[in-house]
Structure formats: C-alpha cells, structure tokens
Structure 1
Amino acid sequence: MATQLVSSGNHNWQLANAPTEVLEKSSLKESNAKPAQQAKLSGRGHTLSSIRTYLGLHPDAPIDDEHEHLEHHELLWSRIRLVLREPFAEFFGVFIMVMFGDGSVAQVLLSSNATGNAGTISTSAPGGSGYGNYQSISWGWGLGVMLGIYVAGDSGGFLNPAVSFCFCLYRGLPWKRFPIYLIAQFLGGFVAAGVIYANYVNAINVYEGYGIRTVPPSKTATAGVFCTYPQAYLSKASQFFSEFITSTLLMFVIFALKDESNQGAMGKSGAGHMFPLALFFLIFGLGACFGVETGYAINLARDLGPRLMSYILGYGPEVWSAGDYYFWVPLVASFVGCTFGGFLYDAFIYTGPESPINTPWMGLKRLVRPDRPWQKGSRSAA
C-alpha cells in the first residue's frame, strides 16, 4: 500500500547496474579487520555480494557501518540475513500492516452482537459502548501501513507489489528485484492472516458457530476478516472501477509525496521524514471515502495472501467464487490503477530524468529501440 525509498549512502538502487568490478570493490571494503580475518571476510563479502547482485539487490546489505564487520556475521544465519535483509524487511513490513489491518476488521466484526454454540460475545468495551466501528478499520489499516513502512525502511517500504512494479517502471528500481519483493510481500500477508486466525479462532467459533466458516453474503460471514469482498449490488465493471480508482489515487499521491522537486506543503523535499505519517492519512482517507464497495484492497499482498490462508483454514472454494469470482479484481486492478496513477503524475507534474515519460514518445521509443540512446551523450537508453 505504500512505499519509502532508500536513496542515500551506498545502498541506492540506482547503483545496482554499475560495472561489476566497481560493485565487487565496494563490497570488499574492510576496515579495522585483522590480517588473518581480512581474506576470510573478503571471500565472504564477495560471495554475499554476488548472490545479492543476482537477486537484483545492491551488493552491500543496508546495515550500519559499525555493524558491518562484527564477528557474528560469520555465523550461518547472519550470512543469510545479510543476503535477504530487504526481502525480510518487506515480509515483516507487510506482516505488521496486515496484523493491524485485519486485526481491526476482526475486532469490529466479531465484537458485534452475535450468539453461537459457545455463548454470546460481549459488545460493551470498558469505558465505552463498543469495540469499534467502520472508522476503526480505517484507523487500523492506516496505522498498519505507517508502522509497516518503519519496519521495512531499509528495503524501501513498498509493502505492495503494484507499488514496487511502478517504482521499477517509473523510478529505476531494478526489475530483478521485483520477483523476490513480490514473494516476500505475499508471504507476509499470508502468514499474518494465519496469526490473526489463531488469535481470533474462539471469537469466530462464537460468532459463526463451532467449525462453521462462511463468506459473504452470509449474514454471519467472517471471511471478510482476512480479505475483501464486494457488495452484492456491484457489477463486475463497478468492482473493477472501484479498485482501479483507489489504486490510481494511491500511486499518484505516493509519487507526489516522494517527489523532492515538488514543493507541496513540505518545502522542496517531498514529504521527507513525514512520509510514513502522510501515508497513514492517505490510507485512512481511501478507506473513509472509498471503502464501502469493495473494501479498497489495492494490494495483492494484502488480499491474495490472506485469501489463500482463509481457504486453507476451511472457508472453502467460496473464497474464490464469491462476488462472481471477484478474487482476481484486486490483483489486476491494483496493477492497472497504480500504473495509471504513476503515468498521470509523471505526465503532468514530474520533471525528473529517470521517468520514461520524460523520454521521446513518452517511453515508447525505449520499447521500440532499447539499444539506442534517447538522450544526447548518454550511453544507453536505460
């Protein structure tokens, strides 16, 4: 749902396509190492850098300089962590996002007045008249995105395959990085949904009845805790348009917030350090203004991962067939909408050189003649 770019220091992704010899030299920098350790550390650094480069990551893992040469990096798990630090960050960023988001849906839905085989669910919260309403869900998802970005800051904090795709397309994020980010983001949502189910399984049994698991439009359906389902009155075109428009708004505003040349309300620095908070309000606003029709999934990782988990947990094939096989709409519409939102921002506002929109024929020349430079004096079209 969101993104925060790492664009400083030795971990700028735009250095990932530098000549191999330059990358290898940068990955072998060793300081304060004993002579006996230096060859070992250099060999390790070369291997780790090669693997990370193959995955499309920067050769150097984004870690603090003071931590880089500590002895525990010789341990097996430490080496694995160095290789996959950014995918791990995306995994846990999405995990945190879905925990807060799906958790808010679960609390609001399951605390409503219902009786089941195990008794009655209390609807009176201490000091209040209930355990939340629809706005609580908007708050939950907004907080989840903001906190997820903080967790995944070193990876870019994309948290959404469609957003990652657009940064590959419009901002030079290496395409080789996209598959591993997508897998990590999907698994983050998948695992988080399982944890939410384990936490709320007793409440689900009370709400629906022990062992009963249903999907909308059932009046006691709890499948909506995990993924989105459309209103019954929506046509397929309306389902798609609802997800398309929210995804378009998402990407357009993200690019505006990340545009350091856009003065906006923050001076000529984009949203800067306020970016996670700005994303909180963006997600809250999308939920508050556009959530009623389809639940504003706008994210494959947030919707498909938990949907698959709910299928495994016993909600059955209806998780795929509900809403006239609605499940594919958030997948496709999020990519189409985000791509369109990114196009609109770059076509009408953005002036930076890395966007293909700011090349001849709005990037089409790159597709037709990728071997030819688009700018005088440049060595390659990319």
Structure 2
Amino acid sequence: MGTTSFLTRVRGLLRIRNQLVRECLAELLATFMLIIITLSSSAQKTTSFEMKGNILTSYLGGALAVMVGIYTAGGISGAHMNPAFSFAMCLTEQFPWWKFPIFVVVQMLGSFVSAGAVYILYYDAIWHYSNGTLTVSGPRETASIFATYPADYVSIPNGFLDQVIGTGVLILGIMSIMDTRNKAVPKGLEPVVVGLLVLSIESSMGANCGCPMNPARDFGPRLFTYVAGWGPEVFSRGNGWWWVPLVAPLLGAAVGTYLYQLFVTFHYPEEDSEILAEQGSIVLVNTAIDPDTRMLTKEKDTGETVPAGYPPAPRASSTASPTAPVTPLKES
C-alpha cells in the first residue's frame, strides 16, 4: 500500500502532459533499446574469441533489437528509431514535416548515449582485445563495433547503391506489413514480423558494408567513437565513407516508399474514406491533439491520461519501426 502511494506521488510529480515531449521520450528510449542491443551483439562477436566471426549472432541481435524497440514505444511515438523511416512517413503524409528534424535529433541522441553504454559494458573486453590501443583499422580494430565500414573491395558508389537498395527493401517491406488493406499481419505481431524482415535483409545484404540502413544507428555511435578516443580516422576510413550511411538510406526510403505506392496502393479500388480509415495502414499523426495545448482532447477535458491515438480505431496497428493510430497510406 505504501509502495503504491509512493509510486502514485512520483507519477504525479513526473508526469508529462505535453504530447510532443512524451513522444520524444518514448522515441529516445526505443532508439536506446535498439542500439544498445545491436551494438552489444556486435561487441560480443568482435571481442569474444569463442564467438568471433559468428556474424549470424550479430544479425540476430540486430533483428531482435528492432522488435524490442517497437514494443517499447510503438504505441506512443511510433518507434521510428530511424530517420529513413521518419522520412518515408513524411513523404506519405503520415507524419508532419515539422516533427522530422526533432525526431532525427532524438534518434541521434539515443544512439549516441547507447553507444556510450555499450562502451562501458564492454570496456574491459574492448581494451583487452585491442591490446590497449583503440584502432579503426587492422586485425584488432574495434571501431566497427559501433559504426559500419565498407569491406576493402567496396567502392563508395557501390556502397551507396548497396544502402539505397537495402533501405528501399526495408521501407517497402515495412509498408506492406503495415498496410492492412493488403495481407494483414495479426495485431500485435507486427514488431516480430518487422524483426524477421530486418534479419532477412541483414543476412542477405550485409557483406558489403554491414547493412546500417539507419543514419542514426551509424552516425550517433560513430560520433561517440570520435570523442571517446578512436580519433578522426572514424570519418576518413573507407575513403570518407561516413556520409554514405547518412544520405543513401534517405534516398532508399524514398525509393521504397514510391515503389510500394506505384505498384500497390495506387491501384486499390475507390472506397469511402471512413471505411479506409478503419482498414488503413498506420497512424503517426495524432489528430486528437489540441493544437494550442499539445494535449489530447479527452485529457484536456478530464485530466485523464489516454494513449496516443485516442479514440482507437477498430483495427489500429501497433507496428514496427513505426506506428500509432490509424490512417491509410496516401495515394498521391
């Protein structure tokens, strides 16, 4: 009873009513979960001689991390965790452009902090494996635990194309999973299916450059390695590779988005807009938010906390690297 009262008092003190702040906090936590599991899998594969070379373990960790991140904040912020996905949602008018830079900053911050947490977690292992020298290249390099680097035989143009194709497949796959007008995934299992999608892409397209497909996943940890002691080589290795995982996934997101529109959503039969709202794909814009107070309408009237997307649609999707309430993909 005392514990319950204590938690109630703490909740009363710390509860945030501003919807945007709540979304940012959830997005920060989801991104943190995604990156800490992903990088920890990579650190374990690199520094453990028993597991060295076990790439599948690293890929599996990354895929499961996506699933965990979506379950962490999918119903609050949509759990984008990836600027490329946020960009795709803006292109389909499922997410407002003014929120895009805010979410990118939050995602970068989450990935930077999680890289620091992984460094602390594997501090002894990293220094033992590297023989006391933090290097970006060579047989005992450890920089690739945190950021991606192309294989020696991969050129910048080939690596750029690799990221456009990989991210395009990722976004196209996520859109098909979230589109309930298509072959709907059972409600609640969308994060699992997206995780399997990520695993399939990493297993088939990861050899060239590690399949970042996420500007935040790559740049945040890369920036951490720069300030933590690996030095400026983290930006110069691979003929200045660092900018490719920042730019190419955004282009890939646009390609994947418009391919799905062109080949699938443009050709749905005309239906009543209310029916489409019930059957539609995803929702990343909370239309119930009062523009003046940034609070949900019901919350403002009653002081009661309600989940994002209130009132819930009949077939609300909680999906993957994205979600929230429900609206169909724009057929523009």
- What is residue 153 of structure 2 aligned with on the other side? 233
Which string of whole-angstrom CA distances, capped at 9 and with x for unpartnered residues, describes residues 52-103 of structure 1?
A: xxxxxxxxxxxxxxxxxx876663x323776511111111111111111110
Higher relative contact order (CA 8 A, sep 6+): 2
In 2, distance between residues paired with 1:96 and 1:187?
A: 12
Higher-Rg structure is: 1
Is the counterpart of residue 143 in structure 1 residue 64 in structure 2?
yes
Select which of 120, 124, 136 maps to 1:215. 136
**Structure 1 residues 157-172: aligned runs within 5 Å:** 157-172=79-94
Select which of 85, 88, 109 maps to 2:22. 85
* Cα pair 1:230 1:326 within 8 Å, conserved: yes
- What is residue 179 of structure 1 aligned with on the other side? 101
* Cα pair 1:262 1:270 within 8 Å, conserved: no
Could you say if the C-alpha distance between residues 290 and 244 of structure 1 is closer, same or farther in structure 2, counting changes exceeding 3 Å? same
Given residue 229 of structure 2, which amino acid in structure 1 is its aligned partner? G
- What is residue 251 of structure 1 aligned with on the other side? 171
Which string of whole-angstrom CA distances, capped at 9 and with x for unpartnered residues, describes residues 129-150 of structure 1?
A: x477100011100010000001
Moved more, 168-177 or 326-335: 168-177
Given residue 275 of structure 1, which amino acid in structure 2 is its aligned partner? E
* Cα pair 1:107 1:132 within 8 Å, conserved: no
In 2, distance between residues paired with 1:81 and 1:220?
A: 47
Report percent identity of matched pairs.
Answer: 36
* Cα pair 2:147 2:222 within 8 Å, conserved: yes
Is the counterpart of residue 316 in structure 1 residue 231 in structure 2?
yes
Select which of 346, 350, 358 maps to 2:261. 346
In 2, distance between residues paired with 1:81 and 1:233?
A: 50
Q: TM-score, normalised by structure 1?
A: 0.65
CA drift of 1:171 comes to 3.7
- What is residue 67 of structure 1 aligned with on the other side? none
- What is residue 247 of structure 2 aligned with on the other side? 332
* Cα pair 2:46 2:52 within 8 Å, conserved: no
In 2, distance between residues paired with 1:110 and 1:74?
A: 44
Given residue 218 of structure 2, which amino acid in structure 1 is its aligned partner? D
Given residue 77 of structure 2, which amino acid in structure 1 is its aligned partner? S
In 2, distance between residues paired with 1:272 and 1:87?
A: 24
Moved more, 314-323 or 179-188: 179-188
Could you say if the C-alpha distance between residues 79 and 157 of structure 1 is closer, same or farther in structure 2, counting changes exceeding 3 Å? closer
Aligned residues: CA RMSD:
1.9
Task: Give secondary structure in 2 for the equivalent of 1:79.
Answer: coil
* Cα pair 2:16 2:22 within 8 Å, conserved: no
Is the counterpart of residue 277 in structure 1 residue 192 in structure 2?
yes
Aligned length: 261
Could you say if the C-alpha distance between residues 293 and 271 of structure 1 is closer, same or farther in structure 2, counting changes exceeding 3 Å? farther
Select which of 283, 295, 298 maps to 2:210. 295
Task: Give secondary structure in 2 for the equivalent of 1:281.
Answer: helix
In 2, distance between residues paired with 1:185 and 1:176?
A: 15
Task: Give secondary structure in 1 for the equivalent of 2:15.
Answer: helix
In 2, distance between residues paired with 1:81 and 1:147?
A: 25
Which string of whole-angstrom CA distances, capped at 9 and with x for unpartnered residues, describes residues 96-135 of structure 1?
A: 11111110110011012xxxxxxxxxx3xxxxxx477100
CA drift of 1:287 comes to 1.1
- What is residue 134 of structure 1 aligned with on the other side? 55
* Cα pair 1:304 1:331 within 8 Å, conserved: yes
